[in-house]
Amino acid sequence: MLAGTDSPNSAGYMAGVATRYADVPNLTLTGYVAEEDVAGLFSSSAVVAFPYTSTTGSSGVLHQAGEYGRAAVLPRIGDLIDIIEEEGFRGVYFEPGDPISLADALAKVLDDDSLRDDLGRRNFAAASGIPMSEVVHLHVVHVRRILDRRMLGRAVKR
């Protein structure tokens, strides 16, 4: 199952997936997931994969996956790993844009019940321990850090 809609950074992604994998049996593309359907979606999932190729910091979807005690498969992007691990989340990592690396990470989690359960428990603890106000604060801090780097880069070029 592939849930959600395109990221603003990846317009057309879901339509491309639907076309490219139309012949794959049992693949469901949910599109937008209404709030009342979120619990059922996460509860029916063994693992949540984040096929991001870019990010702006921590992931709200990761926090939701943690609330439901789900294991995560995450990309090695910039400082994403540092940010989520500072928050207490854990996952198996893959190289962004590399479908083999993603498949290997998914297989590692799906084939190892103990690992999957441990990651789910850790992510539940992380999601339970950080109130949403703190998540928002972490996002603001990260955005400021990015803006500061950009401003510094502009100052150096002058």
Q: How many Å is the Cα radius of gyration of the chain?
A: 17
Task: Give the pLDDT confidence of 88-114 residue by residue, as tens digits.
Answer: 999 999 999 899 999 999 999 999 999
In a domain, 146, yes or no: no
> Per the structure, how many domains does the chain have?
1
Task: Give the pLDDT confidence of 136-147 residue by residue, as tens digits.
Answer: 777 788 788 888
User: Quick one: pLDDT at residue 148?
Assistant: 83
Residue 158 confidence class, pLDDT cut points 50, 70, 90 = low
User: Nearest 10 degrees: CA dihedral of 99, 89, 64, 42?
Assistant: 60
In a domain, 76, yes or no: yes
Task: Give the pLDDT confidence of 4-32 residue by residue, as tens digits.
Answer: 888 777 788 889 988 988 898 888 888 89
What is the CATH classification number for the domain harbouring 53? 3.40.50.2000
The pTM of the whole model exceeds 0.85: no
User: Quick one: pLDDT at residue 132?
Assistant: 62
DSSP 58: S
Residue 72 phi, psi dihedral angles, 5° rounding: -130, 145
Domain membership of residue 82 as a residue range: 33-131
